[in-house]
Each structure stands twice: as structure tokens, then as C-alpha cells.
Structure 1
Amino acid sequence: MAGRISSAALALLITMTLSSETRADDRAAAGGQTEVQKQLADWGIQFNLTYIGETFANPVGGVRNGAIYTGRLDVGTTIDLEKLVGWSGATFHANAYQIHGDGLSRSYVGNLMLVSGVEALPASRLYEFWVEQALLGGKLLVRVGQQPSDVEFIDSKYDDLFANSALGWPGITGIILPSGGPSPPLAVPGIRLKAQFTDQLVGYLAVFDGDAAPPGPGDPQLKNPHGILFRVQDPPWVIGQLRYGFDLGSTALPGTIAAGAWYHFGSFDNQRFDSDGRALADPLSSGQPARMRRNQGVFAVFEQLLMRSPLDAAKGAGLFVRTSVSPSDRNLISFYLDGGIQFTGFSAARPDDKFGIAATYARISRDVRRYDQDLQLFTGIATPVRDFEAIFEASYSFQVTPNVAVQPIVEYVIHPGGGAVDPNDPTQTRRIRDAIVFGVRTTAAF
């Protein structure tokens, strides 16, 4: 443990995180580009280098107490193919991860909604690899190739500050979809359409391969360790969304409402009964869950700028709320809700700092709760009945320099694992303890 913590402390001094395209543009405006970067930009080529480094610890609660360091290097490129080779309206993007370190959720806390969205098994893997074509004067964008879904679907611009994985890709889809759905660290081949119907209304429709890893037991990240399987033979996953933008009040505070649905064409395990209709908790059960055809969900997202910063009209206090529901008989989670507020531009001395508070709630499905009740009945042991998992997070991002930010994070995890049995309890009657998590994320842009 001591070696791990000292490595984390050292890494925090040298940690860096990838600049987004916006940050790259900021550096260019400030004259921060090298001559090589300027020449590449003239050719339409942009290179990205990302390193996210985090230290987290849970001194209270969880399966056991401990501390970890997690790091993820992200190397990528975005190429304007019109500038480079004359392919009008086309863009190419690719990036790869090198992930290292431990994960606090998998090793210490035991919660479903990971403490950090960076947490993943150590690996070097290809993530995105796609081409996008603009059509109809840019009103229709068609993207083909390996890609994630979490950037455009069920997303809010006000959730980008937070570390918890569920505050990026929602807890329900990240838990119930095969391999977690197309989100870090596993993207999948797919086709995405984005249509700008009016200035206010944008539509999204995508068809993805339904699983980033081969079927069968085992961790999907181990079954697709380098992200190069390019699976296209699995039952597809389809997701669609409409996003409507509006201005509120006399000061025209911008907001959006998005709503959509997804449908998976694969088969899913029944959460309570076996293939013979017998309760899975019954000692006479075959242990083989009944297979349910298809799966689906509906979702909605609301975001609103509540007030503008006096320093910058584009900054201020922004609110987001997201919710989603899915069938109970084939899913561990059937209802999900999260929301939060992000503040930026509130200090003249620190105009780029961000502060936010957020919370998530994932309801364990009715059939899973009934399975736990069946287990009590057949074993005679008062094992906990899982009910929900909830997370509260508070985070502050200090922009130390234009390139470096340090972000303290506090999370409170209620009912880790949805209120699952503590594996260290010999009586099997106590839940995993609620956990308090402290962390620091250090980021830099180059």
C-alpha cells in the first residue's frame, strides 16, 4: 500500500490531461502553437495527447479501506480530410488509451457506479476510429466506424466536471447494457446520423454493434483487451434522440430538453426465474436463467443555465437532470435519476475555476429484489434485499495555469452494490458499508 500511495503522489506532480479541441484553439489564439503545430493545422492535422491521473481513497466504508492511483494516457488525432486530401466535408478521428493503476470501486468500495469514469483494467487499447461526412451543407453528419455513444446521447454539458462514471455515461445504461454499452474504455463499430432540422431542433440516430466483447463469461475488457476486435456480428443496439434548444426569460438563458429511446436486439437473462420457470434461488433450480428477447429503455435530459457570470456571459451556474427507465424482469437497474449544478466564472481572480455538486440514484429492479426475497425464503438467512445505490459528489477544479488544473473530489456512496451483501461478513446478513471517498484529479493540456 505504501508503494502505491507514493507512486500516486509522484504521479500527481507530473499528471497531465489531454486538451480538447477547444483548448487547442485557445492555445493557438494565445500564440502557444509551435511552428510544427501551425504547419500541421494548415494541413488539417491535429494531434491530441491526454493523461488523466487520479488518487482516490475510502477511509470509511466499502468492502475494505484503501487507496489507489489510476492513470490513463490518451493519444489521438483529428484530420480535416478536405484540407489534407481534398475530400469535401470529411473528418477522420482516432485515439488510443494506455490505462494503468488500480480501481477504487473494484478493489475497495464494491459499488456499481464507479468512483471514477477513468477506472478500467490496465490495458493498451484502440478506442475511437471513425470517419464523419458532412452532407446537405453541414445539416446532416454521418459518422461511420468505431465510436462511443456517451458524448452525444443522454449527455449534458454541465456534467463534464464530475468524476463518478455515472455522471458521464448514465448509471443505468452503463450497468445493464452488454459490456457497459459504447463508453470508456470500450467503443464499438457503428453508424451515427446527426441532423440539424432547425436552429433549435437536432436529431440523433445511431446503430451500434450490441457488444464490444465476445459472448460468454468473463470481463469484457479482458475479452477485448486491445479494442481491435471490430465486432459487427452481435445483435445491434439502436438509440435515437431529439434535442430542443430554447432561451428562458428576458435575459435569454439557454437551455435544452432532450428525449429518446434505445432498443437492443439481443437476449438478456431473466433476473428471477430459470429456463424451467423455477425461482433461481430454489436449490432445485437449474441455475440457468430464462432468456428474455430484446431490451429497451427511454430517457430524458434537461439542462438550463440558471444565471450568467458577470465576468463572461458564456459562464455561470448550469443545472442538469437526467432520467431513464428499463424493464424490471431482465435488468439489474430499472430506474435511474441524476442531476447537479456546475458553477464557473464566479471569481475575477480565478475565472476558469469550476465547482459543482451532483447526485445519482439507481433503483434495483423489482425482479432482483424478489430474487433476494426468494433467497431469504429458501436459505432461511436474512440476507439483505438490494434496493438502490446512490452517490453524492462535490468537486472543485482549480485552473492553476492555462494548462494545468487540480481537482479535489469528495463522494459519498450509499448502499454500494445496491445494498449488496458484504463478502467479508461470515453471517451474510450485513450490507457493504456506505463509503466516504476522497480524491484528487490533476489535469494538464499540451
Structure 2
Amino acid sequence: MLAAAPVAAQTPPVIPAVREGAGADPRTSVAQPETTSQASGGYVRSVEPYLGPLGDPLGIRPVLKQRGVEYSLTYIADVLGNPSGGMRQGAIVEDRLNLRLNLDLNRIAGWEGATVHANAYFIHGTGLTRYYVGDLASTSVIEALPASRLYVLWFNQEFFDGKLGLRVGQQAADSEFFVSQTATLFVNSTFGWPTITGLNLPSGGPAYPLSTPAIRAKYEPGGGFSLQAGLYDGDPAGANRAGDDPEAQRLNRTGTNFRVHDPALIVAEAAYAYNTEKGSVALPGTVTLGGWQHFGRFDDLRRDALGLSLADPASTGVPRPRRGNAGLYAILDQTLLIEPDKDDEGLSVFLRASVSPTRSSLIAAYLDGGLAYKGLFPGREDDTLGVSAAYARLSDDARRADRDTILYTGTAMPRRRAETVIEATYQALIVPGVTVQPDAQYVIHPGGGIANPLDPNGRRLKNAAVLGVRATVQY
């Protein structure tokens, strides 16, 4: 990097061609990885040309594409283990097959500006977080209960030469909102749908592996600006409680509950992608501001309806109902360096910050960030190296509830405070569409510093080291 910096200063960088990145915004992160777990968005290279006659045995893919029908498959397999820390030590294998289908209704039926998109998941394996680590942020973004489920199914209509898009149907917020293009490299789930929304919203919110009926409007007036807002059913599983609980996934095993009667969730954001014009010599980036408002009722984390601590023996044991949950977030995705005479190699940084001050929030503040470099090593121009960190702070009411429990029971126990995740990863391209990705994570105070449920003495969960590898095939 240091050796390349003077050259980059003398030679104007080649700004990447404007194409769609993760989150369906203009790609401004030069280090967005070759393969990603994102359900949609971004440029996807396929392994098909490298499979010879087996790539398309019947020769139907180009014929279908010409007629407006496109399909793709993405297979992700993780082998992860925690040699130290967590609830106990162990290792797991998990995998996910993702089937996407896109229909261009203009080619199919002459319906201009209309598309249909469907996405289904076939999930297998055991989660390392659930059985071994016990952290708030799942160690893998694909961790979920085994199931075959419909993920999204929506219809999109564009107006005014594509400047306005209206989308109706089963949708997931994590593929369009709160997305950092650079962060899609990382394995831990918090760098996708962050812990602050995953734990504060009912059933984890409309995010992997659950989605919900919604209406989303996106307006792109030009100049790099975009505005979008989504109205979602506020509980994709009907679990009627905040947090990404596996029980919620059991209530909606196939993704076909199509719930529409729960209190609403609104998510909105504004983004500005700058320095994307052809001929620009400044480095591209994206600034995003957003927020959410849930209109349902939530349980107070500390007090009952009488105002007594839930740990007080005189308490009713029924939490006081609280109305609503809300939060704000900001994202910066910035390319710091573009390799001379290249448009898809270089260094990018991301930073995301969020607060949720409502009394129903388990996580009150969240911060993550990281660096990724694509093409750092000679001869490995399509490989991506990255380091990142995420910090999730528990709310004051959650910490006071722990203090109350210690006071009223007289039992010594850890008090929760915050969880920190540090990750380093390297995605190596084998052939276009196939990557292998060694990964290392270190979780400080898993669960925010809770007691180990498997320890009879109730000692705090030890910091956990997580090692593993991911393989991804895109077809």
C-alpha cells in the first residue's frame, strides 16, 4: 500500500464503471468481494463457463435469458469451530443453497419496467453460536435452523425512466437497508444485518432467514442521490417478542406465513454516492442516513406494570408494556485507494453507527467498521483481504435489571455490558464464481458478558476464538 501510494498520487485513478453494488446502490466500494452471502444485489460472476459441457447441458440458459427468464444458484458451506471460550468447545458444518429467479416482464409480456424476483433457501447444518459460543452476533451470516423456505417473492414496477421503483410482495430489509458494500466480505452476521436491529425487533426483523410482506418505494433523481422507504409487517414469524430467537423460525418454517396483521415496521434511508461520474479523479464513496420505527408493543426490560423491578419478589412478573421501538443509523463506504490502471482493485473502508434510545431496546448503541483490500498481492488480483470490528452496547435498563437480580436474590452473577467482535478474513478466488475464505474471529464478552448456562458455578462466558473456512460457488 505505502509503495503504491505515490504512484496513485501521480496517476489519476480509474474510477470504477457505475454498476450495481450490494444494497442495489451504485457500487462505490472497490473492495466489494467477488462472492457474497447477500440475497440480491451486486455483480455476480458464474462458474458456468468453467464447467464445460456440464455448465449448461441443455443449452437453455441463453434461450431463457433472451426470453426474460434468468436463474442462478449460490452454494455456501462453512466449517467453523471455537477452540477456546464460549459455552463449550466444538466445531460445526453448515451450508445453504440459494436459488434465485428473475422474470423480465417486458420481454415476457411487453410490460415495460416490470420485473418479478423470487428467492428460496435450502439450509442445513448446526449453528456454532447456538450450541457452542453463545454470542449475540451469530458467528456466521448463514446460520439458521435447517429448513427449506421461500425467502422473497416480489413484483417491482419502475416509473419515470427508472427513477422511481415500487416493489410489492414478500421482502427482506437486510438486502436494501443498513447495507455496507465493503462489509459484505465478512462472515459474522453482524456485518450484514447488525445486532442492534436483529435483537431489538420482533423475530429479528425482516432479515435472513425471515422476510415479510412489504411495500418499498425507491426514488433516484440523479446525481448519486437516492431515497427509499419500506413498510413491512412488523413480525415475520409472529413470535411476539424481540430478538432473533430460533423459536421464531419454527413458527414460520417455510417462509409462507405471509403475515399482514401485525403492527407495522417502517424503515427509511437516504444515500448519496459521490465521485461516480466518468472522468472523475476523486475517489468514490457513499454516505447513508437511515432509521426505523416499529409501532408494536414491547416488554419493559426491567419493570412490571406496577413499576416494581421484575426481580422483586413482590412483582407480578409481567413486564410493563412499552409502545414502539426506534433507531437511527449512519453508514460511510469509502474507497481510499485504487490501483493504477485498474477499476476493481484497491482499498476501501466502511463505518456504521447506530443508536436505539427507546426503553424497549436490548441494544442501545452499535458501532462497526473495517478495511478491505482487493488485489493486494501480485498475481492474486481478485482476492480480498479484510479486517473488521463490531461493538454492541446493552441498554442501561438491561444492565440495571441484572443489578436488581443480584440485589434481590443475593446471588452473585455477571452483569452484562457489551459484546465486541473482531474478524480477519481472506477471500481467495479459485476460478470466477468459486471462492475459498479462511476466517478468524475473536468474541469479547460473548452474550454481552452473561453467565455460562452450562457452568454450575455461573461464571461469565469466556472470550471465544472462532476459526474456520467458507467455500462459495456461484452458478
Q: TM-score, normalised by structure 2?
A: 0.86
Tell me how far apart the structure 1 counterparts of residues 43 and 240 of structure 2 sit (CA, whole Å).
41
SS of residue matched to 1:374? helix
What is the CA distance between 1:309 and its match in structure 2? 2.0
Whether contact under 8 Å (2:354, 2:366) holds in the other structure is: yes
User: Which aligned pairs between 1:155-170 and structure 2 lie closer than 5 A?
Assistant: 155-170=179-194
Moved more, 98-107 or 238-247: 238-247
Whether contact under 8 Å (1:269, 1:330) holds in the other structure is: yes
What is the CA distance between 1:82 and its match in structure 2? 0.5
SS of residue matched to 1:437? strand
Whether contact under 8 Å (1:329, 1:366) holds in the other structure is: no
- What letter corresponds to residue 23 of structure 1 in structure 2? V
Whether contact under 8 Å (2:329, 2:355) holds in the other structure is: yes
Paired position in structure 1 for 2:200? 176
Change (3 A) 1:382 1:408: same
Paired position in structure 1 for 2:349? 319
What is the CA distance between 1:87 and its match in structure 2? 1.1
Q: Which of 44, 50, 74 is residue 23 of structure 1 equivalent to? A: 44
SS of residue matched to 1:112? coil
User: Which aligned pairs between 1:251-262 and structure 2 lie closer than 5 A?
Assistant: 251-262=281-292
Paired position in structure 1 for 2:33? none
Tell me how far apart the structure 1 counterparts of residues 464 and 42 of structure 2 sit (CA, whole Å).
36
Paired position in structure 2 for 1:8? none
- What letter corresponds to residue 242 of structure 1 in structure 2? A
User: Which aligned pairs between 1:98-113 and structure 2 lie closer than 5 A?
Assistant: 98-113=122-137
Paired position in structure 1 for 2:321? 291
Mind listing any 5+ residue stretches in structure 2 that lack a counterpart? 1-35
Whether contact under 8 Å (2:312, 2:408) holds in the other structure is: yes
**Is 1:245 aligned to 2:284, yes or no?**
no
User: Which one has more relative contact order, counting CA pairs under 8 Å at least 6 apart?
Assistant: 2
Paired position in structure 1 for 2:468? 439
Tell me how far apart the structure 2 counterparts of residues 277 and 351 of structure 1 sit (CA, whole Å).
61
SS of residue matched to 2:271? strand
CA deviations over 1:265-284 (Å, ceiling 9, x no partner): 10011011012211011122
**Is 1:300 aligned to 2:330, yes or no?**
yes
Whether contact under 8 Å (1:311, 1:345) holds in the other structure is: no
CA deviations over 1:208-255 (Å, ceiling 9, x no partner): 00011124577110000100000110001001100012239x831001
- What letter corresponds to residue 261 of structure 2 in structure 1? Q
SS of residue matched to 1:178? coil
Tell me how far apart the structure 1 counterparts of residues 378 and 84 of structure 2 sit (CA, whole Å).
37
- What letter corresponds to residue 86 of structure 1 in structure 2? G
Tell me how far apart the structure 2 counterparts of residues 66 and 30 of structure 1 sit (CA, whole Å).
36
Mind listing any 5+ residue stretches in structure 1 that lack a counterpart? 1-15
Whether contact under 8 Å (2:202, 2:239) holds in the other structure is: no
Moved more, 380-389 or 323-332: 323-332
Q: Which of 109, 114, 122 is residue 146 of structure 2 equivalent to? A: 122
Paired position in structure 2 for 1:390? 420
What is the CA distance between 1:27 and its match in structure 2? 6.3
Whether contact under 8 Å (1:308, 1:316) holds in the other structure is: yes
Tell me how far apart the structure 1 counterparts of residues 366 and 75 of structure 2 sit (CA, whole Å).
31
- What letter corresponds to residue 22 of structure 1 in structure 2? Y
CA deviations over 1:353-395 (Å, ceiling 9, x no partner): 0110011000010000000111111111221110000100000
RMSD: 2.3
What is the CA distance between 1:328 and its match in structure 2? 5.0
What is the CA distance between 1:151 and its match in structure 2? 1.8
What is the CA distance between 1:71 and its match in structure 2? 0.8
User: Which aligned pairs between 1:363-382 and structure 2 lie closer than 5 A?
Assistant: 363-382=393-412
Tell me how far apart the structure 2 counterparts of residues 49 and 437 of structure 1 sit (CA, whole Å).
28
Tell me how far apart the structure 1 counterparts of residues 467 and 155 of structure 2 sit (CA, whole Å).
40
What is the CA distance between 1:310 and its match in structure 2? 2.9
What is the CA distance between 1:198 and its match in structure 2? 2.5
**Is 1:332 aligned to 2:356, yes or no?**
no
Paired position in structure 1 for 2:456? 426
Whether contact under 8 Å (1:19, 1:445) holds in the other structure is: no
**Is 1:92 aligned to 2:122, yes or no?**
no
Q: Percent identity?
A: 45
Tell me how far apart the structure 2 counterparts of residues 245 and 46 of structure 1 sit (CA, whole Å).
28
Moved more, 326-335 or 78-87: 326-335
Paired position in structure 2 for 1:227? 255
SS of residue matched to 1:375? helix
Q: TM-score, normalised by structure 1?
A: 0.92
